[in-house]
Structure 1
Amino acid sequence: MKFAIALFSPPHAPASRRALRFAEAVLASGHEIVRLFFYRDGVYNASCAMVAPQDELDMAAQWRAFVAEHRLDGVVCIAAALRRGVLNAEEARRYEREAISTGAPWELSGLGQLHEAAQLADRLVCFGGD
Structure 2
Amino acid sequence: MKFLVSINAAPESATAQTSLEFTERLLLADHTVVLLFFYAEGVRNAYSGSAISARWAALISQYSLNALCCSNSAAEYALTSEGSLTAGFEIGGIAQLTTTAAADAERCITFGTRKGHAPL
Please list every run of 5 or more consecutive structure 1 residues that lacks an aligned counterpart in the other structure: 51-57, 90-99
- In the TM superposition, structure 1's runs of 4+ consecutive aligned residues that sit over 2 Å from their partners are none
SS of 2:9's equivalent? coil
C-alpha RMSD of the superposition: 1.3
Q: Percent identity of the aligned residues?
A: 31
Please list every run of 5 or more consecutive structure 2 residues that lacks an aligned counterpart in the other structure: 115-120
Aligned residues: 113
| Counterpart in the other structure of 1:105 | 88
What amino acid sits opposite 1:60 in the alignment?
S
CA distance in 2, matches of 1:117, 1:47: 24
- Matches of residues 1-130 of structure 1 in structure 2 within 5 Å? 1-50=1-50, 58-89=51-82, 100-119=83-102, 120-130=104-114
CA shift at 1:108, angstroms? 0.5
CA distance in 1, matches of 2:54, 2:6: 18
- What's the TM-score once normalised by structure 2's chain length? 0.88
- What's the TM-score once normalised by structure 1's chain length? 0.82
What amino acid sits opposite 1:108 in the alignment?
I
